[in-house]
Amino acid sequence: MQSRRDYRELRIDKVGVRNLRFPIQVRDKAHSVQNTVATLGMFVDLPKEFKGTHMSRFIEVLNAHGNVIHVENIPDILRSLQKKLNASTSHIEIEFPYFMSKRSPVSRGESLMDYVARFDAAAVSDRIDFVLTVKAHVTTLCPCSKAIAKYGAHNQRGLVTVALRFTKPVWIEDVVTLIERSASSELYALLKRQDEKAVTERAYENPVFVEDLVRNVALKLNAHPQVKWYKVEAENFESIHNHNAYACIEKG
């Protein structure tokens, strides 16, 4: 059925499978590698003359490369998709939780923090495009609130999303650190009383608008020698408004 002629004369840019769970192994700066579980999407283009694609072949290609995806074999998977499905373009999206060990600022208690990382890769003919995305939550304290309030200032949790292309591989940990150092304060999984005092006082001494947040991240990315394109988004989940504050910078 999929190979039958379609007469609507419409090419499909991406068709395939999405929301597939699969083990993945990622390079870890502290421990060499980290094993985690990713949610995958795999797609190819479909010429206008064909009615459909062969969905089972996506799973065949994935499993043919072993029980665990490695970042290094993503180009091989993309080219296998092109060949197996007779496509000129192929795409793979891989999103997964990534864990880092952190120590609280005063008590030095160690705990795991989870972040979200994502790989978006595409093969167009023989060219490979690769985008790394990292998402990290931070604390932001409002400069305007601090300036006008008698007893304190409102703060909120913010989500920063950084997508980038690079000339040489960039560590996920380095992107997380870059994000966290651009906010009023970073977050921790474990905080004792003395840690809470330190974190809240740090945030109060370092107020940032959502605009400040994306600019701080962008300045650090501008200085990064391996980054050739980026998109920075920040969204503050406001604590005294019923809306969120948002800002974005894209360059490259």
> Is 10 found in the same domain as 114?
no
pTM of the model: 0.92
For residue 47, what are the domain limits? Answer: 1-99
> Is 141 found in the same domain as 218?
yes
> Is 114 found in the same domain as 86?
no
C-alpha separations of 163 from 61, 135, 197, 250 in Å: 27, 9, 33, 9
The structural domain count of the chain equals 2
Instruction: Give me the CATH number covering residue 37.
Output: 3.10.270.10
pLDDT confidence of residue 181: 97
The string of pLDDT tens digits covering residues 24-62 is 999 999 889 999 999 999 999 987 777 777 889 999 999
Low-confidence ranges of the chain (pLDDT < 70): 1-7
- Strands 12-28 and 69-70 come out as parallel
> Is 233 found in the same domain as 108?
yes
> Is 244 found in the same domain as 137?
yes
> Is 94 found in the same domain as 143?
no
pLDDT confidence of residue 39: 97
Instruction: Name the phi and psi angles at 206, rounded to 5.
Output: -135, 65
C-alpha 58/C-alpha 60 separation (Å) is: 5
> Is 109 found in the same domain as 196?
yes
pLDDT confidence of residue 11: 84
pLDDT confidence of residue 111: 96
> Is 113 found in the same domain as 79?
no
> Is 90 found in the same domain as 6?
yes
C-alpha 107/C-alpha 191 separation (Å) is: 8
Per the prediction, the chain carries an average pLDDT of 93
Q: Is residue 123 part of a domain?
A: no
Question: What's the CA angle centered on 118, arms 116 and 122, to 5 degrees?
Answer: 175
Query: Residue 113 is encoded by which pair of tokens?
Result: 């923090």
